[in-house]
């Protein structure tokens, strides 16, 4: 925002509102209390009025310049006390304009309603009260309300620049005008002020009629014309105030409704500008906070989806999966790169990390395609599970099919490496089905989803046996017994594995 914008708003509002106030003053003393100024002003009185008007203008702009200093710098304001002051002044601007306008009309009532009579020797208490009432109460109230409504509506275009992240309702020492109070205030203005003017008009008409004698009928006719005029003016004023107040409520609600429609269509980058610190402003800030929460939740979903499949992610986030620990039957898969240490020693570390990431991407793609979850990466080893945390029928078959795809993807990836003159990588895969304890395991500050049990250990042992049995994929007899379709498995002699007394039936994936 350019410096001086707030000052420009003050100036624009000052002449609009005070021009209306001057017209109301003329109409009031011309048609209603036309005897308050009984004679034409003298040259000295005119000079006094001009000087008083100039003094009021200078006072108003002087106060505005002092008050506007914190707003003279570009928005948004910086953090700290200076920025807090600018934000507070930004919220106070419509109220300050109204206060300065009202102060000007109060002083105008004193200057022209009391001071002029005392200075020029025409002072009478009754005439002074009438002049002060017409200038300050009637015209001053109209100008003050109009000044507030004009500057509030126009300043709402600039106010969000001072609060890019919201927070209007949290600003201390900033006046709040609730919607209910706004409506009640306008109702009082529409009801009380016109009644006061009509009462004054009726009083002056009745007084003139009594003094007119035979010409009383003419006076009453004139009084009726004045009443009709005031009725029309009151009607137009009421309509204008009603439209202005309804617009001040309807426009932010309309923007909020449009923003809600944007969110309904999935656009979570939507933000509704907060333009007030009343109930509507609080509602808008709450809406922005809700959208921010939805955006963070969607980011969580997307980030979580990089670690598990979309189906598992949705089950966990929906609360349908118990992560505190549960026993369930699942199929465990371990995959390990062969001759990893010599390869690392002979390669550049950056190249090793790049190749490992590419390898893991290919393997995890195959695992996730068949409903598996990569539990963890341990160096060059992959631990994956099928059937947990979301129970799935046929998890044994899914694991074996995932191993087939892992083999195919590794072959295709190695073909590209060989064309680039780089050595291929080999891996070994062990698969076993059994009961595991699955849940969040770790310290009070850090948890990870982990699997515990003999089935995990046996799957890891089978992966190690692939080196001895010259097979890239080994499947336990327990897994084979749960397969739901024909898969190319070749029976191998039962083997003894570390930690088990009984031999384990194993099969090689052909």
Does 112 sit behind a cis peptide bond, omega within 30 degrees of 0 on the bond before it? no
Reduced to 3 states (helix: H, G, I; strand: E, B; else coil), residue 463 is: helix
Q: What pLDDT does 304 receive?
A: 67
pTM: 0.59
Reduced to 3 states (helix: H, G, I; strand: E, B; else coil), residue 509 is: strand
Q: What pLDDT does 302 receive?
A: 75
Successive 10-residue mean pLDDT values, the chain, 510 residues: 55 76 80 68 81 86 82 76 84 87 90 81 78 85 85 84 81 82 75 67 64 63 70 72 79 89 88 86 88 83 66 67 79 95 89 95 94 90 92 92 97 94 94 92 77 94 93 96 87 86 90
Q: What pLDDT does 464 receive?
A: 93
Q: Where does residue 384 rank: exposed (0-12), middle (13-18), buried (19+ CB within 10 A)?
A: buried
Q: Return contacts of 235-243, CB within 8 angstroms, 24+ apart.
A: 237/142, 237/190, 237/194, 238/190, 241/145, 241/149, 241/186, 241/189, 241/190, 242/186, 242/190
Return the DSSP state at 165. T
All domains in the chain, ordered by first residue: 1-172 (no CATH), 323-509 (3.30.70.1230)
């Amino acid at each position: 925002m350019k410096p001086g914008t707030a000052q420009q708003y003050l100036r624009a509002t000052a002449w609009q509102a005070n021009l209306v106030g001057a017209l109301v003053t003329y109409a009031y003393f011309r048609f209603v209390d036309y005897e308050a100024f009984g004679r034409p002003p003298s040259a000295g009185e005119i000079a006094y009025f001009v000087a008083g008007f100039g003094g009021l203008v200078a006072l108003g702009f002087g106060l505005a310049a002092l008050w506007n200093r914190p707003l003279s710098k570009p928005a948004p304001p910086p953090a700290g006390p200076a920025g807090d002051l600018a934000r507070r002044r930004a919220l106070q601007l419509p109220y300050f304009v109204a206060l300065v306008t009202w102060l000007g009309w109060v002083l105008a009532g004193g200057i022209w309603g009391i001071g002029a009579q005392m200075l020029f020797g025409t002072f009478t208490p009754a005439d002074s009260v009438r002049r002060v009432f017409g200038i300050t109460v009637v015209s001053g109230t109209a100008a003050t309300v109009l000044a507030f409504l004009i500057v509030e509506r126009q300043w709402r275009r600039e106010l969000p620049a001072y609060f890019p992240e919201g927070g209007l309702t949290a600003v201390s020492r900033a006046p709040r005008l609730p919607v209910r109070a706004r409506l009640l205030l306008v109702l009082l203005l529409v009801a009380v002020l016109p009644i006061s003017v009509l009462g004054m008009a009726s009083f002056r008409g009745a007084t003139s009629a009594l003094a007119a004698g035979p010409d009383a009928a003419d006076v009453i006719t004139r009084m009726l014309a004045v009443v009709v005029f005031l009725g029309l003016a009151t009607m137009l004023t009421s309509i204008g105030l009603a439209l202005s107040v309804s617009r001040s409520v309807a426009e932010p609600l309309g923007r909020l409704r449009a923003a809600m429609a944007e969110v309904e269509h999935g656009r979570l980058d939507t933000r509704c500008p907060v333009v007030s610190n009343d109930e509507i402003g609080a509602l808008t800030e709450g809406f922005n906070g809700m959208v921010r929460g939805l955006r963070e939740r969607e980011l969580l979903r997307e980030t979580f989806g990089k670690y598990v499949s979309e189906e598992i992610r949705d089950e966990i986030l929906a609360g349908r999966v118990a992560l505190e620990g549960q026993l369930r039957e699942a199929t465990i898969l371990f995959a390990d790169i062969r001759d990893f240490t010599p390869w690392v020693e002979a390669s550049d570390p950056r190249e090793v990390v790049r190749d490992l990431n590419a390898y893991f991407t290919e393997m995890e793609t195959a695992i996730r395609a068949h409903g598996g979850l990569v539990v963890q990466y341990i160096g060059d080893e992959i631990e994956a599970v099928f059937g947990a945390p979301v129970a799935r029928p046929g998890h044994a078959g899914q694991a074996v099919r995932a191993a087939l795809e892992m083999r195919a993807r590794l072959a295709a990836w190695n073909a590209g490496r060989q064309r680039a003159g780089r050595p291929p990588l080999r891996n070994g895969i062990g698969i076993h089905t059994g009961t595991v304890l699955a849940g969040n395991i770790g310290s009070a500050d850090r948890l990870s989803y982990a699997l515990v049990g003999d089935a995990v250990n046996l799957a890891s042992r089978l992966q190690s046996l692939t080196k001895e049995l010259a097979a890239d994929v080994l499947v336990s007899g327990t897994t084979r017994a749960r397969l739901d379709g024909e898969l190319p498995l070749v029976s191998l002699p039962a083997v003894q594995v570390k930690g088990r007394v009984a031999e384990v039936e194993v099969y090689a994936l052909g």
